[in-house]
């Protein structure tokens, strides 16, 4: 093989590598077909856990735990566990979004 042919093939391979685009396989949708009722049910559960009723229950829980800790009737560690649990419950959306962004999901 002559050096001219080798140079042409090398140049062609470099141009092809620069112009290559990723192959798009099967498209993945976030909500598969037929998952409407399941998605609606999970949306209802999310609304119940994060809605105004849950917020009122959380305020009552924090107030009760605070009062019990203030009067010395509750262990501080248990009280902190309740507060951390509420942070996780109400911050679940942000936590999942952070995990998805780290994992590369949109």
| Domain annotation covers residue 9 | no
E strands, the chain, are none
| Domain annotation covers residue 57 | yes
- 3-state DSSP assignment of residue 72: coil
| Domain annotation covers residue 94 | yes
Residues 49 and 53: their CA atoms lie apart, in Å, by: 8
Parent domain of 71: 49-106
Residues 95 and 40: their CA atoms lie apart, in Å, by: 22
Q: Work out how many domains the chain is built from and give that number.
A: 1
Token reading at 56? 């009122």
| Domain annotation covers residue 87 | yes
Q: What is the pTM of this model?
A: 0.55
Q: pLDDT tens-digit profile of 10-43?
A: 777 666 666 655 555 555 557 777 788 888 898 8
């Amino acid at each position: 093989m002559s050096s001219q042919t080798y140079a042409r093939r090398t140049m062609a391979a470099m141009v092809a590598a620069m112009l290559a685009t990723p192959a798009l396989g099967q498209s993945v949708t976030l909500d598969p077909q037929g998952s409407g009722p399941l998605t609606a049910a999970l949306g209802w559960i999310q609304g119940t856990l994060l809605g105004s009723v849950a917020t009122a229950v959380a305020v009552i829980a924090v107030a009760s735990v605070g009062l019990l800790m203030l009067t010395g009737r509750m262990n501080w560690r248990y009280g902190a566990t309740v507060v951390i649990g509420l942070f996780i419950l109400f911050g679940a959306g942000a936590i999942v979004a952070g995990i998805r962004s780290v994992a590369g999901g949109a």
